[in-house]
C-alpha cells in the first residue's frame, strides 16, 4: 500500500494532505484486513485490531482529491454564475443570457443536433452491427477491431477529413466538376449544421456498435435458426427476435451518444462555421474570446444541468440493461 499514496499526494499537495496524514497516523503498521476476511481472521489479527482503520477512511483521500480539483471548481462556476463580477443581482447574468438571441439559438442547435446524431447513430450502428454479427464475412473480425481503434482517435479528425472530402475544392466537388464540367460542385453543407451532423454520426456510431456487438454475441443463435426454420423471413426475425433482445444495448449506447453529442466541442470547432454554435462553443466563446466569465458560467450551468440529467438517465438505463 505504501506505493499507492505517494503519487496521489503529488496531484494534490494542498488539501489531501490532512486526509493522508490521518490515514498514515492511524495505520502505521497495517492497513485493514481484506473485505471478505474469513471468520477466523479476527482471532489471528486480534493483537492489531484496535489499530486498524475502518474501510471508509481509505476512500477519503481519493474523494478529497476529487473534491478539491473537480467539485470545488464546479461549485465556483455555479457561484460565479449567480454573482457577476461587475455587481448586479443574483439572477442578472441568467436574465441577460436567457434573453440573448445567441443563447437560445445555441440551445436549439445543440439539442436538435444531438437528437439527430443519436437517431442517426442508432439506425446506422444497428444495421452495421447486424451485418457484422449475423451475416459474417471474411474480415468481419478485423472490422470490429477497426471500430475499437476508431474509438481511440479524437473526434476532430473526422471534421478534418470531411474538409478534404466535401470541402469546396475537395474530393466530392472535384469529382462532380470533373464529370459534369460545371465550375462549382453541389456540396456546400460542411459549414452548416448538416456538416456537424454528418461528422457526429460518423464519429459516434462506433459507440453504439460496441455494446450492440457485445449483446449480439450473447444472443442464442438457436433462436434465429428456429425462427428461420419455421419460415420467418430475415426482416421478421430482425423485428421480432433480434430487435427486442438488443433494446437494452441500444438504449444504453443511444443515451451515451446523446450525452456525448450534447458536449461535443472539437467537431464544431474544426468546422469553423460562424453560424453553428452549440452550448460548449458558446462557453468557449464567452470565456476565451469575449472574457465574459459570468455569462460563460451561466451557459456552463445550463449545459451541466442538461448533460448530468441525461447521464443519470443513461446510468439507470444501462444498469437495467446490465451493460
Partner 1 sequence: MLVHSKTGRWAAWCLFGLLFLPLFALPLLVVVTASFSTHWSGAFPSGPTTENYAAAVRGESLRALTTSLVTALVASLLALTTGTWAALAAARLKRRGKRSMDALFMLPVAVPSVVVGLAVLVAFSKPPVLLNGTSSIVVLAHTILVTAFAHQSVSAAIVRLDPAYEQAAASLGARPAYVLWRVKLPLLLPSLTAAAGLCFALSMGELSATMMLYPPDWMPLPVRIFTATDRGSLFAGSAVAVVLMATTLLVLLAVSRVRTRATYR
Is 144 a binder of partner 1 (CB under 8 A)?
no
Residues 81 to 140 in contact with partner 1, rule: CB under 8 A: 124, 127-128, 130-132, 134-137
Is 234 a binder of partner 1 (CB under 8 A)?
yes
**Closest by alpha carbon to 270, among 167, 182, 178, 173?**
167
In the complex with partner 1, which residue's Cβ is closer, 134 or 194? 134
Residues 188 to 227 in contact with partner 1, rule: CB under 8 A: 201-202, 205-206, 224
Is 318 a binder of partner 1 (CB under 8 A)?
no
What is the rounded distance in angstroms from the CA atom of residue 258 to the CA atom of residue 264? 10
Dihedral of the CA atoms 54, 56, 62, 64 (nearest 10)? -100
The three-class DSSP label of residue 196 is helix
What is the rounded distance in angstroms from the CA atom of residue 8 to the CA atom of residue 62? 8
* Interface with partner 1 (CB under 8 A), residue from 165, 214, 321, 323: 165
What is the rounded distance in angstroms from the CA atom of residue 23 to the CA atom of residue 6? 13
* Interface with partner 1 (CB under 8 A), residue from 207, 258, 307, 317: 307
Is 272 a binder of partner 1 (CB under 8 A)?
yes
Smallest gap from Cβ 168 to partner 1, in A, equals: 9
Smallest gap from Cβ 72 to partner 1, in A, equals: 6
In the complex with partner 1, which residue's Cβ is closer, 248 or 285? 285
SS3 sequence, 234-295? HHHHHHHHHHHHHHHHHHHHHHHHHHHHHCCCHHHHHHCCCCCCCHHHHHHHHHHHCCCHHH
What count of residues does the chain have?
Answer: 323
Is 150 a binder of partner 1 (CB under 8 A)?
yes
Is 22 a binder of partner 1 (CB under 8 A)?
no
* Interface with partner 1 (CB under 8 A), residue from 24, 26, 63, 290: 63
Q: Which residues contact 105 (CB under 8 A, 6 or more apart)?
A: 277
# of chain residues touching partner 1 (CB under 8 A): 108
In the complex with partner 1, which residue's Cβ is closer, 174 or 248? 174
The three-class DSSP label of residue 35 is coil
Amino acid at each position: 500500500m505504501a506505493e499507492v499514496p505517494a503519487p496521489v499526494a503529488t496531484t494534490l499537495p494542498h488539501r489531501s494532505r490532512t486526509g493522508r496524514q490521518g490515514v498514515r497516523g492511524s495505520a502505521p503498521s497495517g492497513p485493514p484486513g481484506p473485505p471478505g476476511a474469513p471468520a477466523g481472521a479476527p482471532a489471528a489479527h486480534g493483537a492489531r485490531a484496535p489499530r486498524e482503520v475502518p474501510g471508509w477512511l481509505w476512500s477519503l483521500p481519493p474523494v478529497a482529491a476529487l473534491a478539491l480539483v473537480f467539485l470545488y471548481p464546479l461549485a465556483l462556476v455555479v457561484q460565479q454564475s449567480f454573482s457577476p463580477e461587475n455587481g448586479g443581482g443574483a439572477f442578472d447574468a441568467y436574465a441577460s443570457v436567457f434573453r440573448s438571441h445567441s443563447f437560445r439559438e445555441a440551445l436549439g442547435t445543440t439539442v436538435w443536433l444531438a437528437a439527430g446524431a443519436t437517431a442517426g447513430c442508432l439506425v446506422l450502428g444497428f444495421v452495421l452491427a447486424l451485418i457484422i454479427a449475423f451475416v459474417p464475412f471474411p474480415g468481419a473480425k478485423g472490422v470490429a477491431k477497426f471500430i475499437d481503434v476508431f474509438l481511440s482517435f479524437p473526434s476532430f479528425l473526422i471534421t478534418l477529413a470531411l474538409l478534404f472530402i466535401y470541402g469546396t475544392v475537395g474530393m466530392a466537388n472535384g469529382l462532380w466538376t470533373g464529370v459534369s464540367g460545371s465550375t462549382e460542385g453541389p456540396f456546400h453543407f460542411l459549414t452548416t449544421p448538416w456538416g456537424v451532423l454528418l461528422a457526429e454520426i460518423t464519429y459516434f456510431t462506433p459507440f453504439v456498435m460496441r455494446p450492440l456487438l457485445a449483446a449480439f454475441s450473447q444472443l442464442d443463435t438457436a433462436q434465429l435458426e428456429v425462427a428461420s426454420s419455421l419460415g420467418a423471413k430475415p426482416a421478421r426475425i430482425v423485428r421480432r427476435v433480434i430487435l427486442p433482445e438488443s433494446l437494452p444495448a441500444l438504449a444504453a449506447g443511444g443515451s451515451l451518444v446523446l450525452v456525448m453529442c450534447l458536449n461535443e466541442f472539437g467537431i464544431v470547432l474544426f468546422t469553423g462555421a460562424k453560424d453553428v454554435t452549440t452550448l460548449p462553443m458558446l462557453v468557449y466563446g464567452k470565456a476565451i474570446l469575449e472574457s465574459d466569465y459570468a455569462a460563460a458560467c451561466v451557459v456552463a450551468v445550463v449545459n451541466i444541468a442538461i448533460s448530468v440529467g441525461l447521464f443519470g438517465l443513461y446510468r439507470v438505463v444501462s444498469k437495467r440493461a446490465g451493460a
